[in-house]
Amino acid sequence: MTLHKEGTASIIIVLLVAGAIMGLSYSLAADYPIVIALGWLVSLFLVIIILQFFRAPSRPVSPEEGVVLCPADGKVVVIEEVTETEFFEDKRIQVSIFMSPINVHINWAPVSGLIKYVKYHPGKYLVAWHPKSSTENERTTIVLETANQTEVLIRQIAGALARRIVHYAEEGKKVVQGGQVGFIKFGSRVDVFLPIGTEIKVTLDQKVKGNVTQLAQLKKD
């Protein structure tokens, strides 16, 4: 299993904690096998949880113009027409994907294109499915412009457990569909804002996989 670079510090901390638990178990309860067994179970549980959270599966993509891939693993919790106020200031179709702690937490570029806009916003830590989380939580907004000048906005949103959003996007640089654009730690959500008229390929409550599930088909000029 490949692990993501963002997990290095967290994995080291958990390994140290697990080692401390085992050390205490043997030093303070050497005559109580059940306590030592419990220490092993707790340590193993912590290590497994942290390793599965920072797993980094390989999902190669053959970029395809007009196709919008899901930027994250999770469940579709919102599909609606909204007014996007940060960048577009007009009507867009919003599709939101909730990422639970057991999902892969890498965020991928749903389309190939030029990175036109990147902005990080500090904020609150409301639960990721809260209606105001998109505008009040810690978040990062990234706008990609495709070859045919269609703009797609991706918003990484921290949840109640997430306390750090990482993004790799830089304005003026190009990104290829399927390339990593960021990572969110410990529960979160990703919103995608698409032009009105885009054909949405997912449904509410559908479980999706980043770089695998087709999210939408952009309208042809």
What are the residue numbers of the active site?
A: 188
Distance CA 102, CA 138 (A): 21
Beta strands in 126-206 (DSSP E): 139-145, 151-158, 165-167, 174-175, 180-184, 188-194, 199-200
Residue type present at position 192:
V
Which of 171-196 are b and which e, b meaning 16 or more Cβ less than 10 Å from the residue's Cβ?
eeeebebbebbbbbbbbbbbbbbbbe
Max distance between CA atoms of the chain, in angstroms, equals 75
- The Cα 121–Cα 135 span in angstroms is 9
CA distance 83 to 90: 5
Q: How far apart are CA 208 and CA 91, in angstroms?
A: 25
Contact 58, 8 (CB under 8 A): no
R_g over Cα of the chain: 20
